[in-house]
């Protein structure tokens, strides 16, 4: 948080520095005067406090000085607010539509035809224009080192601009209570060198490859059709909620797009590492692993979990 990345985060940080410096100066002056009054006019035998009513000069000074301080602070504040609210322009701007859902993030790269979840990939040194909206309840998008907090409200589109100077993973969090798993609604911003980002875009634009082994192929069939009639024992098939480009019938829009699921480092609101052990535990009982999860316990058998895990791990 105290090591801002990018022009936009540094502008907010510079405003914080000014505000904090003024607050420290006011604190020192006020506390100094208080201590002076305590010791200078402390009680002594035979001394009585002087009584007076009204002091026009003092009252005017106590009104004008705070007003001048606030006016001085308002100038950089208003300038920074307008700077951060300005929509970035230029051929290098990347536009991403962000949707907050219980309890995960959906990212639609509108100019690149890519839809993914929870892990936001960006190039370094380029402004990222986020259009943010809530799907169900209020959320709040916050990546401390890359910028300020932005409220996420259903039916209202808000904007936020991010930029990263250096490659790396920047952690974020939903900052407004949004339900039972609010604390499990994490996010990651993964900044790449421009060349690596272009490769990531190229990979993401490819459809999912058809599985080459029989167990993964069985998993793909289960993903679309369930155990029977697009149902499992505990609910509908995976494809009723999730989309996978290149897999016929997998066109759901309720849950995250899983086209390149295996290429992600985390899943389920970026709270679990994407490995076989965690994936098995998740498929066995999502609400137990993440309270409030919108994904039900499908009551999958061990064989069904084996097949689905085998298929999901091919989606690189």
The pLDDT tens digits of the residues spanning 19-44 come to 999 999 999 999 999 999 898 888 88
Q: Which domain holds residue 281?
A: 214-312
Question: Once rounded to an integer, what is the mean pLDDT over residues 183-188?
Answer: 95
CATH label of the domain that carries residue 60: 1.10.287.90
Q: Are residues 109 and 158 located together in one domain of the fold?
A: yes
Could you tell me if 45 and 111 lie in one domain? no
Contact 168, 191 (CB under 8 A): yes
Residue 299, domain CATH: 2.60.40.420
Percent of the chain with pLDDT over 70: 99
The contacts of residue 144 (CB under 8 Å, 6+ apart) are 1, 170, 171, 172
Residue 48 has pLDDT above 60, yes or no: yes
| 228 located within any domain | yes
State the average pLDDT for the chain.
Answer: 93
Domain boundary among 175, 204, 233: 204
Tens-digit pLDDT profile for residues 79-112: 988 888 888 889 999 999 999 999 999 999 999 9
User: For residue 1, is it within any domain?
Assistant: no
In a domain, 173, yes or no: yes
Per-residue pLDDT of 292-308, as tens digits, reads 999 999 999 999 999 99
Does residue 265 belong to any structural domain of this protein? yes
Residue 1 has pLDDT above 70, yes or no: no
Domain boundary among 183, 204, 225: 204
Residue 95: phi, psi to the nearest 5?
-100, 130
Within a domain: residue 209?
no
Q: pLDDT tens for residues 130-183?
A: 999 999 999 999 999 998 889 999 999 999 999 999 999 999 999 999 999 999
Among 85, 113, 136, which residue terminates a domain? 85
Is the dihedral angle over the CA atoms 166, 170, 174, 176 positive or is it negative?
negative
Task: Indicate if 200 and 98 belong to the same structural domain.
Answer: yes
- Give the chain as a DSSP string: --S--SHHHHHHHHHHHHHHHHHHHHHHHHHHHHHHHHHHT---TT--PPP----HHHHHHHHHHHHHHHHHHHHHHHHHHHHHHSPP-STT-EEEEEEEETTEEEEEETTTTEEEESEEEEETTS-EEEEEEESSS-EEEE-TTT---EEEBBTB-EEEEE--SS-EEEEEEE-S--STTGGG-EEEEEEE-HHHHHHHHHHHTSPPPPP-SHHHHHHHHHHHHBTBTTEETTEE-GGGT-B-TTSTT-B--SS---TTGGG-SEETTTTEE-SHHHHHHHHH-HHHHSTT-SS------HHHHHHHHHHHTT--
Is residue 2, in this structure, part of any structural domain at all? no
pLDDT at residue 280 greater than cutoff 60: yes
What is the reported pLDDT for 316?
A: 93
Domain count, the chain: 3
Global pTM value: 0.86
């Amino acid at each position: 948080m105290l090591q801002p990345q990018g022009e936009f985060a540094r502008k907010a940080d510079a405003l914080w520095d000014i505000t904090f410096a003024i607050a420290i100066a006011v604190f020192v002056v006020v506390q100094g005067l208080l201590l002076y009054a305590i010791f200078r006019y402390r009680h002594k035998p035979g001394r009585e406090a002087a009584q007076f009513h009204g002091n026009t000069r003092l009252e005017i000074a106590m009104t004008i000085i705070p007003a001048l301080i606030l006016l001085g602070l308002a100038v950089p504040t208003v300038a920074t607010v307008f700077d951060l609210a300005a929509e970035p322009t230029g051929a290098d701007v990347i536009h991403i539509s962000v949707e907050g859902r219980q309890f995960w993030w959906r990212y639609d790269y509108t100019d690149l035809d890519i839809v993914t979840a929870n892990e936001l990939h960006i190039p370094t040194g380029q402004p990222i224009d986020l259009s943010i909206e809530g799907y169900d309840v209020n959320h709040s998008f916050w990546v401390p080192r890359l910028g300020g907090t932005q409220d996420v409200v259903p039916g209202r589109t808000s904007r936020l601009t991010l930029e990263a100077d250096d490659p790396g993973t920047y952690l974020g969090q939903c900052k407004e209570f949004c339900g039972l798993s609010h604390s499990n609604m994490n996010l990651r911003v993964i900044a790449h060198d421009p060349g690596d980002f272009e490769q990531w875009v190229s990979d993401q634009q490819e459809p999912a490859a058809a599985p080459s082994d029989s167990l993964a192929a069985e998993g793909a069939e289960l993903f679309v059709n369930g155990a029977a009639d697009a149902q499992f024992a505990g609910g509908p098939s995976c494809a009723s909620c999730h989309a996978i480009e290149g897999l016929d019938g997998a066109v759901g829009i309720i849950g995250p797009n899983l086209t390149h699921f295996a290429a992600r480092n985390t899943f389920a609101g970026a709270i679990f590492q994407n490995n076989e052990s965690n994936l098995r535990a998740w498929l066995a009982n999502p609400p137990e692993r993440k309270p409030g999860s919108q994904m039900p316990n499908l009551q999958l058998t061990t064989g069904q979990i084996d097949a689905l895990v085998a298929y999901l791990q091919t989606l690189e």
